Amino acid sequence: MSKILIGRYVPGNSLVYKMDPRGKLLVTILFIFIIFLANNWVTYAIITIFSFLAVAATKLKAKVFWDGVKPLIWLILFTSVLQLFFTTGGQIYWNWIIFTISSYGITNAIYIFIRFTLIILISTVMTVTTMPLEIADAMEWILTPLKYVKVPIDKIALVMSIALRFVPTLFDETLKIMNAQRSRGADFNNGGLIKRAKAITPLLVPLFINSLETAVDLSTAMESRGYRDGANRTRYRILKWSKYDLYELAYFIILVLLLLVFRTK
């Protein structure tokens, strides 16, 4: 059993955790589209409030979400600044060669900032409340229609779940081997590029060998339990819709309706 976080899942049991991963994934994807319905202050305010309520519904610490936004904060700021300087229109406040600060630029920059941040927040809500394996199941479900154009969804899903399952194992293993080699005087943190590249051999070789062994063991175990390619199989984790998904759907529909009503035509 591994204790390492995979993906960004954070254990909890609020309302959002009880929702079906398929619903969460779908709504998250749709959210990225419907955010473009917002085009004035009122609609941006509405979607911001709705998003923050969703964040609050997870009952997780704000830090979890800040950790989601933090790595992208520079990208968000950079994009906003570009908008600020390169959008023209409305009242012009300042101009220098090709840079302009205009009233349109200012509102656009703020809009972009909000849009970006909200998309990250909402995806964070999904990734922190849904286990990676559930996300994989949900993706498989969403991709099911592709079966009819002969895309091997089952196989892709199997590969995906196995990969996800072994990420923490691999992580544990890496840490263990690193510590073992550190005890033998290996140094992974100091030295130039070549020295560091060299230092990584004692880590990579055992890791590869271990992974290959694990893979062989896994395939033997699967075969000995009668796993066959292409057979119709039942599921261990059965996804079920519940009343919480209805709440989610209702919440989403209300948001869309409000946006449609208040957006500038």
Asked if 161 and 133 count as a contact pair (C-beta separation under 8 A), the reply is yes
Kindly provide the b/e burial profile for residues 51-88, where b requires at least 16 CB atoms within 10 angstroms of the residue's own CB. Answer: beebbebbebeeebbeebeeeeeeebeebbeebbbebe
Nearest residue to 162 via CA among 117, 87, 215, 120: 215
Q: How many residues bind other proteins (CB under 8 A)?
A: 26
What binding mask, one character per residue, do residues 196-235 give for other proteins by CB under 8 A, x or -? -----xx--xx--xx-------------------------
Compute, in degrees rounded to 10, the torsion defined by CA atoms 82, 105, 72, 23.
-130
Q: How far is the CB of 223 from other proteins (least distance, A)?
A: 23
* Cβ 126 to other proteins shortest distance, Å: 17
One of 62, 98, 184, 238 touching other proteins (CB under 8 A): 184
Distance CA 206, CA 204 (A): 6
| Interface with other proteins, residue 13, by CB under 8 A | no
129 binds other proteins (CB under 8 A): no
Please state whether 163 falls in left (phi above 0), alpha (psi between -120 and 50) or beta.
alpha
Give the rounded distance of the alpha carbon of 180 from its chain centre: 33
Contact segment (CB under 8 A) with other proteins among 26-34, 89-97, 151-159, 172-180 equals 172-180
Name residues whose C-beta falls within 8 Å of residue 105's C-beta, 6 or more positions apart in sequence.
83, 84, 85, 86, 87, 88, 89, 90
Nearest distance from residue 256's CB to other proteins, in Å?
33
Rounded to whole angstroms, the Cα distance separating 33 from 231 reads 37
Stretch that binds other proteins, among 24-32, 138-146, 147-155, 185-193 (CB under 8 A): 185-193
**Nearby residues of 36 by Cβ (< 8 Å), 6 or more positions away:** 115
The correct pick among 11, 145, 152, 191 for binding other proteins (CB under 8 A) is 11
Of 259, 265, 261, the closest CA to residue 38 belongs to 259
Find the shortest distance in angstroms from Cβ 65 to other proteins. 14
14 near other proteins, judged by CB under 8 A = no
Q: Closest separation between CB of residue 176 and other proteins, Å?
A: 6
Please, what is the minimum distance in Å from the beta carbon of residue 138 to other proteins?
22
Closer of 10 and 139 to other proteins (Cβ) = 10
8 A C-beta contact, residue 86 and residue 108: no
CA atoms within 13 A on the CB side of 202: 18
Supply the minimum distance, in Å, between the C-beta of residue 245 and other proteins: 24
Residue closer to other proteins by CB (options 133, 177) is: 177
Per-residue x/- marks for other proteins, 43-82, CB under 8 A? --------------------x-------------------
Contacting positions for other proteins (CB under 8 A): 3, 5, 10-12, 63, 173, 176-177, 179-187, 189-190, 201-202, 205-206, 209-210
